[in-house]
Amino acid sequence: MRLDTILEIARRHGIAVVEDNAHGLFARYKGRHLGTFGALATQSFHETKNITCGEGGALLINDASYIARAEILRD
């Protein structure tokens, strides 16, 4: 699976993985929810996605070192 390869390459080189999880809400890979593999993951709530609010999205933060920066970007 490509996800395993991507995660291994990123780990080896110290690169943060950002998951584009626009259509993957509630989906799982190897028993684990999509959006939990990378340091960050995105959710889209555009009208063409599984769950909508017109426009909008969410940033999932799985690495606490990104919280402060994400709060600055949100503001």
Can you tell me the distance from the alpha carbon of 54 to that of 3, in angstroms, rounded to the nearest whole number?
29
What's the CA gap between 21 and 44, in Å, rounded? 7
pTM above the 0.75 mark? yes
Torsion angle (degrees, nearest 10) of CA 35, 37, 41, 46: -30
Compute the distance between CA of residue 36 and CA of residue 39 in angstroms, rounded to an integer: 8
**Torsion-angle region of residue 50: left (phi > 0), alpha (psi -120 to 50) or beta?**
alpha
Q: What is the pLDDT of residues 10-64, one digit of tens each?
A: 999 999 999 998 888 889 999 999 999 999 999 988 777 777 777 788 899 999 9
Res 46: pLDDT: 76
